[in-house]
Amino acid sequence: MRRLAGIAALAFAALSSGCSIYPLPEDVMPYKSEEIAAVIRCQARDAVRNVILQNIEAAKSPILYERMNKQELLAWLTGNTENFHSLKWDRFTPELRGPFTFYKDTSISYDFTIDTTEKNVAGVNLTLLRQYSGSTNAAGLVASNDRTREVSRHFRAFDTFDSLARLMPERACNRAPRTENYVFPAAGLLRINSLVNSFLIANSWENLAGPDKEFTTAQMADTLTFTTKSIGNFDPSTTADPIIGKWVPSSASLNIDNTRQDLHTIIILISLSPDKSGLPQFDEFGRILAPGKASAKVAASAALDKQKDFNTQSALTRFGTGVGRIGN
């Protein structure tokens, strides 16, 4: 019976083990949800700044900004990134002033959905036997505890090329990753620069259009879906021979199954401003100020809604996730 008591105690401990009541990214990642947004925004900022540097490098004018030539300007910006905050687009030579002024109000908007599911299953199976001289009695005991917790967090952010390149504080990106994260990709280095470059090239040469029949507000979007599933199992068992006249646990097994799934969906939308007169205003730290009209922000939000509808109709990523859950 002492052995049985030990198995019962182990089973009780397993069934009483806790899971995260409110599963969030910071339980398993080095970033909170708002920091994941900062990670993406910082990479978008770096992509925009790289485009600025590339255009400066390709410029032909002897003097490009105030009294600085190409080499001096590049050294000034790359030597101390704080100098990006001092840039004034109208002070560039006409060769660069035109494209920089045209694209500075281009919006980069983001839609974040973070779904987390944690499932904890603990159970014990116990078979008791008592043997007589001519027969054997058996009794089976089963106990199980199944807990599932789900959290879905959704939010949006809004930037422009100008607010990212000049206004976003350098300290906001101190923790920005410099390498890929293969376990949780949303917390690592992504190829956002590819989206920025593709948008600019397509808008210049490929007749890039906007939503529906709109041909004046060109836009391009990437939808990133990252699924990370962790599984942990602990399934010890024991067996014993029956004893005449006594109840003994002939077989006992304990199963503890823990799973956690983190599904991160990120939409990054780049679009030309539909109405420069109604653009949201930013303070010196790149934070949105409440304008009388925020047509660009409203348009970007509506475009994100359309992009989400498109993803639902064409990809149905949630369907695959649901099938995976049923199979497990």
pLDDT at 301 > cutoff 70: no
Distance CA 297, CA 285 (A): 18
pLDDT at 2 > cutoff 60: no
Distance CA 237, CA 123 (A): 12
Predicted local distance difference test score (pLDDT) of residue 303: 66
Under the banding of pLDDT at 50, 70 and 90, the label for residue 182 is confident
Predicted local distance difference test score (pLDDT) of residue 276: 57
Distance CA 41, CA 158 (A): 9
Mutual angle of helices 33-58 and 94-103, in 10-degree steps: 160
**Angle (CA) 234 238 240, round 5°:** 175
Percent of the chain predicted with pLDDT > 70? 61
Give the tokens for residue 308. 């989400």
Predicted local distance difference test score (pLDDT) of residue 10: 45
Q: For the residues 312-316, what does the mean pLDDT come to?
A: 53
Burial environment of residue 7 by CB neighbours within 10 A (0 to 12, 13 to 18, 19 or more): middle
Predicted local distance difference test score (pLDDT) of residue 90: 92
Distance CA 175, CA 169 (A): 13
- For residue 323, how many other CB atoms are within 10 A of its CB? 10
Q: For the residues 96-107, what does the mean pLDDT come to?
A: 90
pLDDT mean across residues, the chain: 76
* Model confidence pLDDT, tens digit, residues 147-169: 778 888 888 888 999 999 999 88
pLDDT at 323 > cutoff 60: no
Q: Of the ranges 18-32, 193-207, 269-283, 309-323, which one carries the lowest mean pLDDT score?
A: 309-323
Q: For the residues 13-36, what does the mean pLDDT come to?
A: 65
pTM of the predicted model as reported, rounded to 2 decimal places: 0.71
Predicted local distance difference test score (pLDDT) of residue 232: 72
Distance CA 124, CA 107 (A): 56
Predicted local distance difference test score (pLDDT) of residue 312: 61
Predicted local distance difference test score (pLDDT) of residue 205: 79
Percent of the chain predicted with pLDDT > 90? 23
pLDDT at 248 > cutoff 80: no
In terms of Cα–Cα distance, which of 5, 6, 7, 252 is closest to 127?
A: 252
Q: CB of 44 within 8 A of CB of 191?
A: no
Highest mean pLDDT among 76-85, 106-115, 168-177, 197-206: 76-85
- For residue 231, how many other CB atoms are within 10 A of its CB? 11
Q: Which residue has the higher pLDDT, 56 or 232?
A: 56
Under the banding of pLDDT at 50, 70 and 90, the label for residue 12 is very low
Q: Which residue has the tokens 């770096």?
A: 46
Q: Is 78 helix (H, G, I), strand (E, B) or coil?
A: helix
Question: In the chain, where does DSSP find H-type helix?
Answer: 2-16, 33-58, 70-79, 94-103, 161-162, 192-205, 295-314, 317-327
pLDDT at 9 > cutoff 60: no
Distance CA 222, CA 192 (A): 9
